Structure 1
């Protein structure tokens, strides 16, 4: 391959890396003299149509993007039936390397890096592209740039390998959202969750969830709450901590609705934190005022306070002194806007759903009137209208299970999964519904659906590294919890962490989302030595 001229344009200079799915070369674009990176699909996967199509489809999707915080895709081609992609060549360490070297990043640096990651995600999401593999290894940090790599295809490999570091991430499972761990498709909110994990890692130097096995870590994403960032890094302002924790919410609907919203919240948190810091400095400087001056100030303030109490009444003054806010006007707003307005007023909100003549999906009632004074952090009850009691069933076919359930909820209807079938559509896609769209139902009734369990051709992972094999299985659409690893002891160091046997065998076609589906990998591990006294 070295010395080849691809498409009469890209001269291959040297091999710079190799991963589980691809080999990466450094090349020169002879038209522009720019150095680029060329990524080839590994030869053993040339006959796997799923991986080939995924490689090409995601490359073409990524070509729509052009952003200064993204490792941009330049070209797509094929050399002797060997597909390749040409991407921007970026020299620099990964964010994972940086965290490993420093232990953790200071708050200012972490915020600046996160804002650029969110800018990249915002650009991708607005181009209808979900990353699905946001992690610190996929963020490149160099002099004058921070770039997100591998939008499904473009991992740079000119930095230190993950397995060179002890106790670091195994594949991508440490960054999985709960819904990804359940085998559901990626979404903007799953990218935001993964970004939250990266932010947590930058601020603390550790990952929110860890474990010995992949399935153990996946279960923690589903069932456990992460510890507060401030337990590891007390210097992190509470406002910044809250941004991280909201991004790591188990329920996608309770996370930020977009990367842009999270970025705005982070900027606001930084402003609040800076103001709080300045207030502390000002307060400290006031303590240096002489006792004589301070005495006169106290006397003056006390007198003024007394006059105000007499004039306005003690109750009104206390309300002004205590940390209060006023309830915003929410009637007629959408659920998303109502949540945003409530949070802007430092209030929590709980939604309930019931029928009314108000437009479906908008606020019909709020428990406190507009302008009412409440303590910050209190909860208001907001009723979302589901429309009139008689409902017209919406069209669900082609939606994901999560999207279909959310849509039916706005209509006051419930969903019941009647059957899961093998189908080429993504796992969880609605294939059929009963009753059909436009049918009339009463509020609270059930719509039965048939979901896709996906369709997968088992790749050949025998002889592959454990984590590369798991990544390839996930790329083919297999949920992480469907993978079981059995360890086989050996003294041959060349076989450590290699897959000995796989089940089902390569080329088998099966339903990855089936209830009883399980893929078993037998992996070689070092023989445990028993010591006798």
Structure 2
């Protein structure tokens, strides 16, 4: 089924699950460009006309259901001999997965989940549709915690078939009701029983009945009472335990009248769990509509003997006789198989099996036949052994066997050939998945500009479909990079306010990059001082342009001119100019002069600026800017 396209619309991508009656795949809906789940009926059920008619009718009925706790069904169809249902694709896990991971689930969570399942069943029952296969495997939990019931419709059609259709017990034996085990007509109360089993498993981490064979489990559903859940999990309140046991009553008449009544009791249990005061109520305080009816009259009645069941009717021995007959038939079948496998085992003559591995099949047959041995041939694909040659043999070469023993030869069919799937138009991920599902490998991946194709979409492949190639052949892909990117000569943004360039950047299909601030007293605050890339550079669409903008006053640089005339006095006088600002105190001028010299010096600083002039160490001038 993998890589097959149903009705030229639904392309099967991967197998995600399945059961006794159908397999479930994830597929791509070409028309609506979305992922869907495809449930495909298995081939052994497709040749019974009555069964197919029921399948269609029940699937179409299920498609009419619309409930937030039911998986939506979008389409029902047939492609050649393949009958399928298109459903909503749920990304999450099954309830069975969660039980396996956590063993037992909290009581509050269990009641909430069962309540949502029950509400889905209520909607189905109101539309005259019985699920018939409620089990944790058919309950999906989305990533947001929403409960979704699936497999509506198929189970109803399956249970209408007799055991002659498959030769096996239909349904999920751990969860089906006693009436299903007896092959009787099912009803809405069968769903109630199965829901009780699911609730039992969630609370205890185990199913109520287990055994080595499906028949032994079915007999327990008919004859044995389940172990009380509180014995396995003492944290279960008696009220919740009573709900489970009432749902699992052997006789349908002893169960809830309908699923609506069970919902009412589940909500009662939910309210009880939310009320801390109610938790302290004794067993006698619980409402009687959900507790088993135990009266003095019942307690004084004699218990049923081994020859009677709980309802007082003699036990039927037909099931035991049928089981013994089936066991006898299996023994006979095993004996016949042994005879066919070993031939005339009473023969006293023995031979040593010749080595025929690698030989052409006709030659191998002649060699073994000449040894008075029989030959059975099966075929298999093999890349290393030429077609028509023996891959392996059993018994192996050198073994001593009796004459007429059957020697099984596995003969090569050559390298397995497959059809190259058409992955053009798919995303790279889905294309790789289809290639893998076809038994092929991913080869080189190139990217090309494609004006009309979105990025990451396959636009070419080699070999091209529908070529026939050997398994593990590499498939090369060409992936779209999207349309070509236009080159742009970058304008000069320097001197412009930063808040005015966004519109210009958008029109050029450029992006605003990193913006940093820098102290600058030449430009007003927020003005672009520099840009990267530089003006007149060639860039492509989508390039991010970084800007440096001026920062406002606290860190601005202050400048001043100091002028001084050296006074009369010594012939050599040392003039010093000292500046003090936010960066500290420093000497910016220190030179000797003679009287009458004029000194002019530009000074600068950050923050509060103080200037001091010293002549021969004496302060002669001071000013603060």
Q: TM-score, normalised by structure 1?
A: 0.50
**Which of 1 and 2 has higher RCO (CA within 8 Å, sep 6+)?**
1
Q: TM-score, normalised by structure 2?
A: 0.43
- Of Structure 1 and Structure 2, the greater helix share is in 1
- Of Structure 1 and Structure 2, the greater strand share is in 2
